[in-house]
């Protein structure tokens, strides 16, 4: 009498199990890769947004320190793992006379201020992510 006491897996069962294992590993790998890429993008966006207040402060100071004859400003630089460029252009100019000094000293001697409305375009680039910001700034000088 023959005794068929084969224990173990057949070759087909091992191949099916291997295919299932590699498919599951591939799916987990794709999910992990997607999460890693999303994390990197989020980190770059946070880096850009964190830099904006400091850059806006510097731009505001540069615009307010511009001479009364200037109508365009620009600058570029790098800070905090980002590069930036900005351009400012005068949109409106208005001269205002102080009414109190006008009444007291007359039209010719009255205090006059020249106000300028600037439009500023800021572009920040951090690791291939580019963000554009547009805002207005006001400067003034004695006229």
Q: Is residue 2 part of a domain?
A: no
Q: Is residue 96 part of a domain?
A: yes
Q: Is residue 75 part of a domain?
A: yes
Query: Looking at the predicted structure, is the pLDDT value of residue 11 above 60?
Result: yes
Instruction: Tell me what pLDDT residue 31 has.
Output: 93
By the 8 A CB rule, do 98 and 87 touch?
Answer: no
Cα 113 from Cα 98, distance rounded (Å): 8
By the 8 A CB rule, do 121 and 84 touch?
Answer: no
- Look at the pTM and tell me if it is higher than 0.75: no
Q: Is residue 3 part of a domain?
A: no
* Residue 70 banded pLDDT, cuts 50, 70, 90: confident
Domain with 136, as residue range(s), is: 11-142
Mean pLDDT of 62-87: 85
Q: Is residue 135 part of a domain?
A: yes
More confident residue, 88 or 112: 88
Q: Is residue 5 part of a domain?
A: no
Cα 102 from Cα 45, distance rounded (Å): 52
């Amino acid at each position: 009498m023959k005794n068929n006491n084969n224990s173990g897996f057949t070759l087909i069962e091992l191949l099916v199990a291997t295919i299932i294992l590699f498919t599951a590993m591939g799916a987990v790998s794709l999910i992990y890769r997607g999460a890693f890429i999303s994390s990197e993008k989020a980190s770059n966006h946070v880096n850009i947004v964190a830099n904006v207040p400091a850059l806006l402060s510097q731009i505001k100071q540069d615009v307010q320190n511009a001479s009364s004859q200037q109508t365009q400003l620009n600058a570029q630089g790098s800070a905090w793992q980002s590069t930036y460029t900005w351009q400012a252009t005068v949109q409106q100019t208005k001269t205002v006379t102080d009414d109190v000094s006008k009444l007291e000293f007359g039209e010719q001697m009255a205090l006059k201020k020249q106000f300028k409305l600037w439009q500023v375009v800021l572009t920040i680039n951090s690791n291939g992510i580019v963000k554009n910001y547009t805002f207005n700034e006001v400067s003034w000088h004695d006229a």
